[in-house]
Every structure is written in structure tokens, then in C-alpha cells.
Amino acid sequence: MADPGVQASIHKNLHTTLPRIYNYYSATRFKKVNLIDRLYPDSKAVEISHWAIPGGVGAWQEWTFQEVVAQNFSPVTVGDSSFGPTWTTHWFKVHFTVPDEWAGSEVRFRWGSNSEAAVWSSDGRILQGLSTGDEGSLRTDYTITRNYVAGSSPFTYYIEMAANKLLGASPGDLIDPPDPNLFFKLTRAEVVRLDSQVYKLTRDLEVIYQLADELIPDQRGYQAMYTANQMVNSIIKGDDSGASDLADQYFAKGNGGRAHTLATIGNCHIDSAWLWPFSETKRKVARSFSSQLKIMEDYPEHIFVASQAQQWAWCKQYYPELFQRIKTKVTEGKFIPVGGTWVEMDGNIPSGESFVRQFLHGQKFYQQELGFTCKEFWLPDTFGYSAQIPALMKHVGLERFLTQKLSWNTVNKFPNHSFVWEGIDGTTVLAHFPPGDSYSMNVKVSEALHSVKNLEDKGRASTSAFLFGYGDGGGGPTQDMLERVRRLADTDGCPRLKIMTPDQFFGRLEADKHNLCRWVGELYLERHNGTYTTQADMKRLCRLAEFKLRDAEFLLSQAITILGPDGAKDLLQQSQEALEEAWKKVMLNQFHDVIPGSGIEIIYPEAERLYQEAIVAALTVWNNAKDVVFGSDGEKTEVAVNTLQWPRTEVVKLTAAQHQEGGADQRVKEGQQYALVEVPPMGSAPAKPVTPPNTVTVEEVDGVFVVDNGVVRAEVNAWGQVISLVVAGDDRDVFRRADGTQLGGNQLVLYDDEPIYWDAWDVMDYHLETPTVLNVEGSGYSVTPVTVVESGPLLVKLRWGVTISASSTFTQDIELSATSPYLTCASSVTWGEDRKFLKVLFDANIHARRASFDVQFGHLERATHMNTSWDTARYEVCGHKWADISEPDWGVAVLNDSKYGWMARGHQLTLSLLRSPKAPDDTADMKDHAFKYAIMPHTGTLQEAEVVRRAYEFNNPLSLLQVPIDKSEWSAVSMNGSGAVLHTIKPAEDGSGDLVLRLYECNAAKTTVTLTLSWDVSSVKVCDGLEVAGEDLPFTQADGVASVRLSLAPFTIHALRISLS
């Protein structure tokens, strides 16, 4: 017996009292006697009938709601289990009356199908998403009314059931490839009366239990335990209101002034495609967004943020009625776009220009549709963040950045949660990692406490972000979560949970900015670094599309200068629409589970189609512009077009019929002829063969092929290894050549590649312990030795190959042209491996502590050693078109046309070629591949050797066109001075006929350049990445040529907006 009047439990026994409390609100324990059993005191079955949309993935897009409900629905019952197969769509009509005795009560519809679903009104409005089953992230109830009025029955609703779970359709483990044959069982369809008092007690008991569980042995924790125990006693006695009062008294004890504030922000991370295809994401958006509107009806404090303009655009396109309702809430400041980008893209692989377009089209959509402009870059789940992101953000007017993904690091804990992030050009932005290390918290006491305990910047900042709501597969906050937020708003023992907008949160953080630490360089994710290589075609097509779009925009711009802004109107409008659509396809594919290769099999044919359509659109724009620039009538000749800002002299392949006299002669089989041509900057010239300063020769000496063009001299052994490579006139060999071994360049190396779990994502450090060089004498692999395919004088081509296994072969052409400063290795691979990683290794004779890697609009240096754990963790890093390892006056660069994974360790540089993960797509990369890389020895620094320019050329071959003779020679733009790359010339997005030029400093050095434009220019203004014009720049104009002088700081990004007269 307890002493009379004592309210605490008799025994101070945590091991009995805490489980007792837990069991009293548990959904699995003591079910028949606890609160959960009393939550729905009355229930009633409903009438259900069913109709299935014919077809599988995405078939729902072909049907309107009106068409669906006009179909013949057949009766079904709870317990039926024939709803499938995977990715099909099933519609259910549910009809019921609510008993009059339920008047005054909250009435809900409850559903169970172990799948995703949505509730629709009978007049075709999507009302709320449903997510049921055993994988958590549940949303089983739809609240029909909080106060039923007798006689207002009957009700008819439609349930749209998707035959997939919230996280896809794996039969077992999360990332197992989907089972194409899943069938779902209808486990519940009922209308219920909710006991609101019991609902309140359930949430009260849950939160107080969590406080007890987390805070004991603190005083406040014991208070929680005794309060909750007393509540249980009170409930057992039948005194619910007494129990409720006890809870209210407990929560009324507020925080002291020193409590940390968690800016509580509702969100739902929706992967635009991952373990499901794009078409399912469109529905996930509607389910998630409609659910949030539903919650806002009863929780006016609720604020929900949603990223990815593409998802908002899908909502507008497929759910216009829902979009209108959301717009109202945007106006009220409750439903808030975040991030400013088209999708939450990969943070490493997209080009600098792609990054700018993500913001340009993201913000444009939000401005046009919602009158809203995002003030932060929001990328919580992406696999690492380029060191040029701060400058890219500043370029589009953003200075706030949020992610949490670095909490996934395998080696190092990132030292800050709030910090100043400085990029390669010195630009800084304010960065925040929510210290809960998650974007999908459930508002548990443990999460709130962890957020504060884990916070690396205690005392520096008084507020951190707390992102809650089911995520990845969408969902977002639930009513239960909002109830917990209310209870934890200001409760002693727990940090304050204060609902805020991202703008309010960052505003608070900015006030603390002077206290924050600074991090310089990339935010490297020590994980998921296999994604620079997985699904090779996603990377290859991205690079190709980026360059094709670049070329199309340049030629279109040149056409506008010829037609004049007025004359170009039609061409401009039609081309810009096509280009915008093309960019949106490329940008969608840059989503952080598509381009990294971490999605399921069915995503990739669609993504590939989108890339191909974008490339075709770019070619169409190019062709239409070509007709303006060159005209279409008259005698034709073959011209070479150069879209880069410097003159080029290169060997091209002409059709034999067009081949004119002059130059060196080298026939290609099938009526083609090699020729050396000269082309002016950003312009064209007749493809008139010129005589090369040197010819290229090949000679076999003791089984070694010596290739020499007077620029570089290479020795290739019979196994395709480049055992010597020198710059002509320099005796230093860029590859090591120890006696008795065959070290060198172009070693093809195969590694075991079995990550711990995240197959498509991760390559672990230990794979480096398993190298097998394939093209070395005695490797045991069957090598087809080098043969000479072309022997000069304009091009030498050597061919060799190796059989990797019964299902994989590798063939490579090693080429050197008469003028090229690099040896090109064009590879064709048939690939059928299981968890093997193919790389090419260059064993450089270079002593360097740092290597340089091309990134967006600049390059990044990384250590070649493993001094610190931070260096050690960077065993597979991202780089774009080139990487370089150099001593101060010489070195070697490796260029590539489609690869992103690199390693620089000691004197070795490797380029990652192909992986073969089996989850979540067990067919990933199991196909034929073609890619090129090139090896470029150089004297001087990489800047003096113009590695950046050579890499642009390697990725952007001269175009050969048949055009009328009279307009065959022109040059639109050129630049005097070194160090700047004019990456982009495009029509302004607003259709005014203005042109936007984007350039960047590429040499890590201050420079001044003069831009010469062969156009009639009326004004030159500085502009930002969103093309908003700023100050006027002085320029000179004479005889149709304008000149602008620009001073650029290292790695800075600049845009100019040019109006034509």
C-alpha cells in the first residue's frame, strides 16, 4: 500500500514502471486493455467495389478521374488479396452511412492495403495520402469530420491504390531489386468513431514516457515517470480527465532561458525517382502535399516546406485543383517552396552551367507560378557538395545552404553544424546541417535531445533546424507529430521546439554568424563515392547533353545577332521553348538518385530517353540556327565550326568527296579522308586541309610501338601500356619505368568491389587491396596485342584488347594525331561483371603533394597523401573533364569525355571506368560501353600547358557542316588575355533578344581579358545567374565590333547581359 496522498509510484523501479507506461499506449502490447483499444470505440464496415487501371508503370497518367469513376466497379471485401502486380493502379469506391449516435464525435475512415494510396472526394479532389503496412511511416486514417452532425450521411469516397509500398517494391531488403509481381491484400476499410479524449491521453502518455525514458536519472525525468504512472492509475480508475490534468500540469513547466531552440520545420523529402519511377513520384507529391493541406485545417501553426520545382510543376500539371489550393497556402506563408532548384540534384556531377540552370528554372517557376523566390539552397540528401557551390549560389543570389548528408561520413565527424562555407573563389555562404542528422524526424524526445547533444556549435549559435516529417518516399508530417510539437514547444528538460519558416531560421542564424567557424573547400561525403561511376550512361549522356545544349545556344545567339532581336522573334520563341524543355529533361536526370546511378532498373531507360530527346532538341535548335547563320541557298562547301573562344587547328575526318587538294593526305576507309583544318574562335572556316608542321609516325622497335608527332612521343608496349610518354624536346618521362617491371601509363586494373551494404552507392576503402592489372605480361588474361590500324601521316591508331571474362571484353584504340598534345584512348567495352570495378591507372613519375581536379567552373586541389583521416577518406573523388598531377614545371593530365571518379595517391592517378553493382538494379551497366580518355604530358604548369582548353576541345570536337560557300567564314567572339573561359552564350530567358554570356576564371589567378564581339551592341551590363541586369559596363563599338575589358579574380563566375542594337 502506498502512503496516503503520495502520488509517485510505490517502487522506484524503472524496470517495471517505465514498461508499464509504455505498454499502456503501445499498439502492440496490452492491446485489449490499454488506451489504443479505446481509441476507436465504434466502427462500421463500408461497401467497397473495385476497378483496376489497365497497364502497369505510369498507366494512371492516361486516365482522368471522371473516366475512372465511370468504369464498372465490382464488389470486393476486406481480406481480398488480388491487387497487383507491382506498379499497377487500383481504384476502390467506398460508400457508407455514419450512425446518428456518433453525432458530436470525430469520425474517420481507416484503410489498410500494405501499400500507398490516396483518398479522393466523389467530385474528383484528392484529399489525402494513405500509407499503410508494416514498414513504418504510417498514415492510416482520414478524418472525415471532427464533429459529426447527425443525418449528414451517406458518404462516398474513392481510394486510389498504388501497387507499391512507400519505399518501392522490394520483396525483402530495402535495396533489393523490386519484385515485379507483388500483390497486395486489403486488410482494412472501415468508418470509425474516435474518442478525442483518449487520443489526447495517448499523445500525452507517449511524450511523457519519452521524457522519462530519456531524462532519468534527472529530476525532470523522474517527474515524468511518476506523472505518467499516476496517469495510468487514474485512467484505470476511469478518471480520464484527471489523467489529462496531470499531463497538462507536467507540460506547463516551461524551459529556462538557456534552452536551445530547434527551428521546427515540417518537410517531406521526396526522391524524384529512386526505388520507384518518375511516374510514381508524381503521385507521391500529390499524396504528400494533399496530406499537409489536410493537417493545416486543424493545426493552423503548421508550416510545410517543399523543394524541387519539378515536383511543384508535376502537381500543377497532374493535379491542377490541388495546386490551386496549395497556392492559397503559399500566399498565407504556410506552404513554402525551398531550395530554388529544379530538382535536388547531385552535388558533384552536374556542370557549372547545369547548376546555374537548376536555379534559373527553379526560381523562374516559383516566381511565375507562386510569386515566390527561395532564399536558401536546400539539398539535404545529396552525396557530397562541390567546392564551387558557394560561388554558384552567390551567382544566383543565394547565401544560405542546408544539408545533413555529411552525417553519413564513414570516417570523420564533420566539426560543425552551423558554419561559414568558403568555396574555391573565396565566396562564403552560411551553411547549416540540422544536428539531428536527419531530414525525416518524427518529433521524438530522443531526436530533440540528440539534436542539442550532437550540436558541434554549442554556444556559437542559439538555434538549429529540426526537420520533421516522413521522407524519401514522401509523406511528411502527421497529426501525431504536430501533437508532439505542441507538447514540446516549451517543456522543461527538452529543447524548445519552435515552428519556423526556413527564412526565420536562417535569419536567426545570420545573427550568430560572427561566432561561426569557417570551412574551406568541398563538403566531401565519405560515402557513396561509387556513384561517380555507377550507371555510366547517365554520366556520359549528361556530359554530351550539356555540350550539345551549349553549342545550340551559342549558334542560336549568333543567329539572333544576324536577324536582330525583332527579326529573330519567331526563331527565338520556338527555340527557347525547345531548349527549356530540353534543359528540364537534363535537370530532372540530375536528381540525386538518377545521375548517381542509385535507382532501380526501370528508371534508366526513361532517363536515357529524356537525355536523347534533349540532345535531339539541341540538334534541332542548332540546325535551325545554322540555316540563319550560314544561309541555305547556293553552292555548298564543308566547313568546320568551333564553338570555343580560341582558334583551333585539328585533324578531322572529311568526306572524301569534299576533300580538296592540299595538306597531308591520309585516306580513311569508306570514302573518308583525314585533314588538318584551321578554325577561328567561336566561328567557322572552310574545311580546307593545311599542311601540318609535323606528321605523326609510328615505328615498331623490339615489340614496342613508338608514336611521335613532334609534340609528344609515346611508347606503347604490346599489351597496350604506355610505357613512356614525353613532351617532344623534353627528356623527362611522365611515367615510371623501373627495371624488370612494366609500370607505366594506361594500366587497366580490375578490383573486387563488394561494399558493405549500399551496393550502387558505395565503394569501400578495402577494394584498393584487390588490384589485378589486366594488360601486363603474365597477368593470366588473354590480351590481343597491339596492331597498327592507322599509320599516319595525320593520325596513328593502335588497337589492342583484353578478354576480362566470359562476359566482358575490352578493346581500345590508342590514337595520336599530327597536332595533338595528348594520346587519346578510345575504349569499347562489353561489360558483364558481378561487383568488379574497372579503372585505368597512370603511374606517374611525378613528385607532387597535391593533384588538381576539374570541377564546376574551376578546379580543386586535393592531397595525394594520407596524412590525416580526412585525406585517407578521399580514396575515390569526383572530378570532371580532367585531372592533373604536376611538379612546378612539368606534369601529366588525364582528360576524359564521360567519367567522374578519380583517385590520386602518391604518384598514381586512376580514372574509374565501370562498376557492376547488383542493387537496387541488378542489370546496372551490364551492356556495351564506349568512352574516351586522353593522356597529356606537359611542360610548365597545368595553366601554362592550357590543360583546361585541351579538355574543352576533347569534349567538344569541331563540327563539320555542309553550308553555302559565301558565309562559310566568320568569328563571333574572341578573347585576348589568358585565364578566362567563356563557357556560355545564350539568349536571355525573358525572350527580349538580349544575350547572356557566362565566363569564369580558370587558372586560379587574377586576370584581365578583353572580349571582342562581332556584333552591334547597344549595352553591356553585369548580370547574375538569374539574368537580372546590374550595372552598365563600359565598352567600345566600331565597325560592328564591340570590345569589353574585364578583370576577373581567381575562379570567379561572371555573367554579362548584352543588348543588341
Residue numbers at the binding site for Zn ion (CB under 5 A): 271, 381
Length of the chain: 1061
Q: Of 358, 760, 347, 377, give the one whose Cα is nearest residue 523.
A: 347
Can you give the C-alpha Rg of the chain in angstroms?
32
Rounded Cα–Cα distance for residues 230 and 779 (Å): 75
Helix pair 309-318, 569-589: axis angle to 10 deg: 110
Please say which residue, 477 or 979, places its beta carbon nearer to Zn ion: 477
CA–CA gap between residue 736 and residue 883 (Å, rounded): 18
CA atoms within 13 A on the CB side of 602: 19
Q: How far is the CB of 902 from Zn ion (least distance, A)?
A: 24
492 is catalytic: no
Based on CB atoms, which residue is closest to Zn ion, 40 or 532?
Answer: 532
User: Residue 128 Cβ, how far from Zn ion at the closest point, in Å?
Assistant: 23
Which of 277/879 has CB closer to Zn ion? 277
311 versus 1012: smaller Cβ distance to Zn ion: 311
Cβ 472 to Zn ion, closest distance in Å?
A: 6
CB of 270 to Zn ion, least distance (A): 8
Query: What is the closest distance, in whole angstroms, from the C-beta atom of residue 522 to Zn ion in the complex?
Result: 20
Which SS3 state, helix, strand or coil, does residue 703 take? coil
Helix (H, G, I), strand (E, B) or coil at 767: helix
Alpha carbon distance 1043, 1052 (integer Å): 20
Q: Which residues contact 810 (CB under 8 A, 6 or more apart)?
A: 748, 774, 801, 802, 803, 804, 827, 828, 829, 838
Residue whose C-beta lies closest to Zn ion: 381
On whether the CB atoms of residues 301 and 504 are closer than 8 A, the answer is no
Q: CB 249: neighbour CB atoms within 10 A? A: 10
CA nearest 452: which of 493, 506, 421, 424?
493
For residue 443, give the nearest of 393, 484, 405 by alpha carbon. 484
Closest by alpha carbon to 147, among 186, 105, 187? 105
Output 284 or 496, the one with its CB closest to Zn ion: 284
CB of 307 to Zn ion, least distance (A): 10
C-alpha–C-alpha distance, residues 156 and 153, integer Å: 9
Tell me the one-letter amino acid at 310: Q
Q: Which is nearer to Zn ion, 270 or 903 (CB)?
A: 270
Q: Which pairing describes strands 304-306 and 261-267: parallel, antiparallel, or unpaired?
A: parallel
Query: Minimal distance in Å, beta carbon 290 to Zn ion?
Result: 21
Of residues 267 and 941, the one with the C-beta less far from Zn ion: 267
Q: Which is nearer to Zn ion, 472 or 897 (CB)?
A: 472
CB of 758 to Zn ion, least distance (A): 13
Distance of CA 388 to the CA centre of its chain: 15
Q: Round to whole Å and give the CA distance between 981 and 583.
A: 22
User: Would you state the cell numbers that stand for residue 119, as one nine-digit string?
Assistant: 483518398
**Distance (Å, whole) CA 400 – CA 431:** 6
- Looking at the Cβ atoms of 761 and 931, the one nearer to Zn ion is 761
Q: How far is the CB of 319 from Zn ion (least distance, A)?
A: 22
Among 141, 213, 381, 425, which one carries the catalytic annotation? 381
Q: What ranges in 962-1049 are assigned the alpha helix state H?
A: none
Q: Where are the alpha helices (DSSP H) in 488-568?
A: 502-511, 536-567
CA 900 – CA 641 distance, rounded (Å): 27
> CA 290 to CA 298: how far, in whole Å?
14
349 with 595: CB under 8 angstroms? yes
Nearer to Zn ion, 264 or 307 (CB): 307
Least CB distance to Zn ion at residue 381 (A): 3
> What residues act catalytically?
381
